[in-house]
């Protein structure tokens, strides 16, 4: 099956770090769904950042309330690709089934921290998306987005932050 020697969940999770096998392993783990969640959660602690990133991407679709705290912790991973995948998973509602996204009490603080101070502009851009989810209800979110819109060294981050502040396209479209 899939050309792998072993096809148990743990073996497939380890293949997420192998560029030759990651796509097939990802698809099979996604197909297995909640049955593979314990192996995916364990993969968040793997030494290979490719495995951790793949697990965050899988949790974007398969997240459950038990996994949410671990996914939030991944926002502080030393690898930027993992942080990007974690912030995407936390910000993206369209990939989720019936799991409620975490509220500002759980994710706003780490998102604000990374929006302001992460060295990687792609991470800051993904953090802007998560902070932007709370722009209608949290004054701190609007203040941080406005600061990023005017002061961030990356034009892409400035542009994205502008989408979520009052007058921005996403802010206006999402008015309650």
Can you tell me the distance from the alpha carbon of 167 to that of 12, in angstroms, rounded to the nearest whole number? 45
Report the helix count and the strand count for the chain, using DSSP H and E: 11, 0
Of the spans 6-20, 84-98, 141-155, which averages the highest pLDDT? 141-155
Our measurement of the distance from residue 4's CA atom to the centroid of its chain's CA atoms, rounded to an integer in Å, reads 28
- Give the pLDDT score at 116: 97
Give the model confidence (pLDDT) of 31-65 as tens digits: 999 999 999 999 999 999 999 999 999 999 998 88
Can you tell me the distance from the alpha carbon of 18 to that of 109, in angstroms, rounded to the nearest whole number? 33
Selected residue with higher pLDDT from 161 and 4: 161
Residue 94 — φ and ψ, nearest 5°?
-70, -25
Residues constituting the chain: 176
Can you tell me the distance from the alpha carbon of 74 to that of 111, in angstroms, rounded to the nearest whole number? 12
């Amino acid at each position: 099956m899939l050309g792998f020697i072993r096809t148990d969940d743990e073996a497939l999770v380890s293949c997420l770090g192998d560029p030759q096998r990651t796509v097939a392993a990802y698809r099979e783990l996604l197909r297995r769904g909640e049955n593979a969640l314990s192996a995916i959660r364990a993969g968040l602690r793997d030494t290979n950042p490719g495995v951790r990133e793949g697990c965050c991407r899988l949790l974007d679709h398969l997240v459950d309330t038990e996994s949410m705290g671990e996914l939030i912790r991944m926002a502080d991973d030393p690898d930027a690709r993992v942080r990007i995948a974690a912030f995407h998973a936390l910000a993206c509602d369209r990939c989720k089934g019936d799991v409620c996204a975490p509220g500002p009490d759980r994710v706003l603080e780490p998102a604000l921290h990374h929006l302001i101070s992460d060295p990687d502009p792609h991470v800051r851009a993904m953090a802007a998306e998560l902070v932007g989810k709370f722009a209608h209800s949290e004054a701190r979110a609007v203040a941080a987005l406005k600061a990023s819109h005017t002061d961030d060294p990356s034009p892409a981050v400035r542009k994205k932050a502008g989408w979520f502040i009052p007058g921005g396209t996403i802010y206006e479209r999402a008015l309650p």
